[in-house]
Amino acid sequence: MSRDNATIVRQFVDDVITQGNIEAAGKYIWEDVVEQVPLPGQGPGLEGLKDILRAMRTGFPDIVFSIQEQITEHDKVASRFEWTGTHNGEFLGIPATGRPVRVWGIVIDRLEEGRIKDTRIIMDTMSLMGQLGVLPPPPTP
């Protein structure tokens, strides 16, 4: 039974990110996957992606990543997502704050033969840093 590309992306998000089955990532992602916009400190390929996912689950052990909508064209899937979690562990060098966060973003994945070959994530990291209290609040008029 063949799965369409949007379903593969959803299954990856549910299985690997939300459920935390990081080692299962290879079922959905090519070994030499290219992250077009790597997160700080992210290494290359599948192993680099797995390291970042582990870091996110360490920082936000209760992370829930949900896809709000998807658009597909040819071999690409654009997914608008939101993730929530509680900052109960260190993340990107920021000690745990215990604060809840809600972060939006869009990821564009290109698939080959049923697995993600390259990906580009655009995430509201400024809002994340603000929610963690790392950035000063915006000035009030």
Distance of CA 121 to the CA centre of its chain: 8
Give pLDDT tens digits for 83-123. 999 999 999 899 999 999 999 999 999 999 999 999 999 99
Three-state DSSP class for residue 78: strand
What percent of the chain clears pLDDT 90, i.e. is strictly above it?
A: 87
pLDDT per position as a tens digit, 45-70: 999 999 999 999 999 999 999 999 99
Instruction: Quote the pLDDT of residue 2.
Output: 47
Contact 43, 34 (CB under 8 A): no
| Helices and strands (H and E) in the chain: how many | 3, 5
Domains of the chain: 5-131 (3.10.450.50)
Report which of residues 136 and 52 the model is more confident about. Answer: 52
